[in-house]
Amino acid sequence: MKIFYVYILECSDKTFYTGITSSLSKRVESHASGKYLDSYTFSRRPIKLVFYCEFTDPNMAIDVEKQIKKWSRAKKRALIDGNYEQLPNLAKKKF
């Protein structure tokens, strides 16, 4: 069974990059080495893997990646830190 990973990298400028892959170690290495000149992380190296989760369903992994990309920095930080109880209360927009 193939495993898919949704991951979050913390860049040197303290921004987060969220992605999806079926080979986590290879993908992190490609970010770290600057393999792709046009990638978000190229000019923000060094990067650090701060979170990942595994999926067997690629569609679910894609949905979760899209969801996380829409989250605020605070909500991503709560996920990274394992503060799951805070997630429902951290909205992207302040009302």
Could you give the CA distance from residue 95 to residue 91 in angstroms, rounded to a whole number?
Answer: 9
CA 7, CA 93: separation in Å to the nearest integer? 23
Tens digit of each residue's pLDDT (9 = 90 or more) over 69-91: 999 999 999 999 999 999 988 87
pTM, whole model, 2 decimals?
0.93
SS (H, E, C) 23-56: CHHHHHHHHHHCCCCCCCCHHHCCCEEEEEEEEC
The DSSP code for 71 is S
Domains defined along the chain, listed by start: 4-70 (3.40.1440.10)
Phi/psi at 17 (5° precision)? -120, 130
List the one residue out of 89, 21, 88 whose CA is nearest residue 53.
21
pLDDT digits (tens, 9 = 90+) for 19-35: 999 999 999 999 999 99
pLDDT over 90 percentage in the chain: 92
Q: Sign of dihedral through CA atoms 78, 72, 39, 7? A: positive
pLDDT tens digits, residue range 27-57? 999 999 999 999 999 999 999 999 999 999 9
